[in-house]
Amino acid sequence: MRHLLLLCLSICYSYFIFGQNLVPNGDFERLIGCPKSLSELTVYNWNNTVVESTADIFSNCSFSESLANPIILHLQPFEGSTYIGLKPAINGSEYREYISCKLKSRLKNGRTYRVKIAVSIPDECSYRVNHIDFVLSSMPLTGTFPEDPLIEIPSVTFSIKNIDTLSKWKVYESTYIAEGDEAYLCVGNFLKMKKSDLVKIKKKDKYYHRLFENCAYVCLDAIEIIDVNAPPPIDIKKESVKATEKQEIKIVPEPIVLDNLLFETASANLKEDEIPDLDDIVTYLKNRAELKAIIEGHTDNIGSDNSNLELSNDRAKSVIEYLVNKGIAINRLTPKGYGASQPIADNSSIEGRAKNRRVVIRFE
């Protein structure tokens, strides 16, 4: 029982620390209660940034003004049973709607994050805008009156001009390099509006509803912010499970590719300011004391086979030296150099060679 408890704690710790979606409840599935009206944002972790302007909630659990009532909106969720609707602009008004949340952890300076969102423009709306924005900040944004919109420089702007089919979901993805300490996400329209930014798309038809008259409207779902360089979360479905003679269970995670470690040119010396990922590996190994790791070194094809083989092995040993200096027992770590023998990209391009110069950590 004690071993099982430790295993569960280890899995939970790994899942929440490594490779997680930092946006809590990014699919809006966890509800405080079934909404009784469109403007009742009963979604855990999310709130209306400006109190006087309220986003709409569409949930299959509702029996009032929501998905159960097709005269309001007949769009189904991207996934699950709930999504959010926003008015990013209204013709002749400065009114806008935003939603906000606090991230699970603050972003780290210089780290690259993948940001992602599913967007749809419903058949029912009269206008469209050409973008939807993320603002990431160290403090929560605040606003007062709908006629005084939040005008900020977006951290990420998703151009939605290419949505050519209404009431169909489209997934947008980009990257964001953190300034550091960002802890809050706000989603909406943050740019000053020009006449050309509000595009009329159709007249009243069988889907017309007063909610969408004279305004732009967007539906949002599946919001993600993920550290692309963090070790992936433990996925039990993809794990190889090994039973020992004592019937203890050992979870072996998938290999981790570190293709952003920087070494000095033709050298095995790590650049000290470019090793945040190794610190994550240190933390991971300290919390998974039952694991050992093979540290693989790989190079591009510049240079002779012998020199590349030697260089890759030296770089693997350099990574091990760093891990040992951080407190990981050397008998848990094994170096292995492959030189240029296992490319994962085309060595004829700069980008391909950069991908091939990598360190892979395989657990056992």
Neighbours of 299 (CB within 10 A): 29
Note whether 309 and 267 are same-domain residues: yes
Q: In what order do the strands lie in the sheet with 184-188?
A: 46-48, 99-102, 184-188, 131-137, 156-159
Q: Is residue 242 part of a domain?
A: no
Question: Picking from 5-9, 129-133, 217-221, which range would have the lowest pLDDT averaged per residue?
Answer: 5-9
Beta bridge partners of 156: 134
What CATH number is associated with residue 143?
2.60.120.260
Q: What distance in Å separates the CA atoms of residue 43 and residue 29, rounded to the nearest whole number?
A: 8
What mean pLDDT comes out for the span 156-176? Answer: 88
Strand partners for 135? 186
| Per-residue pLDDT band at 66 (split at 50, 70, 90) | very low
Same domain (yes/no): 286, 214 = no
**DSSP class of 196:** G
User: Does residue 241 fall inside a structural domain?
Assistant: no
How many CA atoms, within 13 angstroms, populate the side-chain half-sphere of residue 135? 21
Q: Which residue, of 182, 208, 227, is where some domain finishes?
A: 227
Please check whether residue 63 is in contact with residue 103, taking contact to mean a CB–CB distance below 8 angstroms. Answer: no
In a domain, 247, yes or no: no
Q: Has residue 194 got a pLDDT over 80?
A: no
CA R_g for the chain: 25
Higher pLDDT, 111 or 74: 111
Name which of 55, 156, 170 is nearest 115 in CA terms.
Answer: 156
pLDDT confidence band for 246 (50 / 70 / 90): very low
CA distances from 181 to 51, 134, 138, 187 (A): 25, 16, 6, 18
pLDDT band at 233 (very low <50, low <70, confident <90, very high): low
Element (H, E) at 120: strand 112-120
275 pLDDT above the threshold of 90: no
Within a domain: 236: no
Range name among 213-222, 245-254, 265-274, 355-364 with the lowest pLDDT average: 245-254
Q: Is residue 28 part of a domain?
A: yes
Question: Domain of 158?
Answer: 21-227
Query: Is pLDDT above 50 for 289?
Result: yes
| pTM of full prediction above 0.95 | no
Are residues 116 and 207 located together in one domain of the fold?
yes
> What does the alpha-carbon distance between residue 68 and residue 16 come to, in Å, rounded to a whole number?
34
Strand partners, 363: 293
Q: Residues 133, 203: one domain?
A: yes
63 and 175: one domain?
Answer: yes
- Distance, CA of 77 to CA of 195 (rounded, Å): 31
Region 296-308 average pLDDT = 89
Q: What is the pLDDT of residue 132?
A: 94
Q: Check the CA dihedral 205-207-213-217 and report its sign.
A: negative
**Same domain (yes/no): 87, 135:** yes
Mean pLDDT of the 305-334 span = 90
- Please check whether residues 273 and 346 belong to one and the same domain: yes
Q: Is 11 part of a structural domain of the chain? A: no
Count of the separate structural domains present in the chain: 2
Q: Are residues 98 and 186 in contact, defined by beta-carbon separation less than 8 angstroms?
A: yes
Q: Quick check: is 167 in a domain?
A: yes
What does the pLDDT read at residue 139? 92
Whether residue 209 is predicted with pLDDT greater than 60 in this model: the reply is yes
pLDDT at 239 over 50: no
For residues 355 and 133, the model is more confident at 133
Q: What is the mean pLDDT of residues 103-132?
A: 90
Please name which of 179, 100, 182 lies closest in space to residue 142, comparing C-alpha atoms.
100
Helix residue ranges per DSSP H, 262-349: 276-287, 305-325
* Beta strands, E only, 60-103: 82-86, 99-102
Among residues 227, 244, 269, the one where a domain terminates is 227
Average pLDDT, the chain: 79
Distances (CA, A) of 73 to 53, 55, 176: 20, 14, 33
* pLDDT cut 70: percent of the chain above it: 77
Domain match, 222 and 272 both: no
Residues 209 and 332 in one domain: no
Say if 232 falls within a structural domain. Answer: no
Let me know whether 217 and 345 are in one domain.
no
Residue with tokens 């001009």: 161
Q: Tell me the CATH number at 274.
A: 3.30.1330.60
35, 62 Cβ separation under 8 angstroms: yes
pLDDT at 117 over 60: yes
Give the residue from 227, 244, 265 where a domain finishes: 227
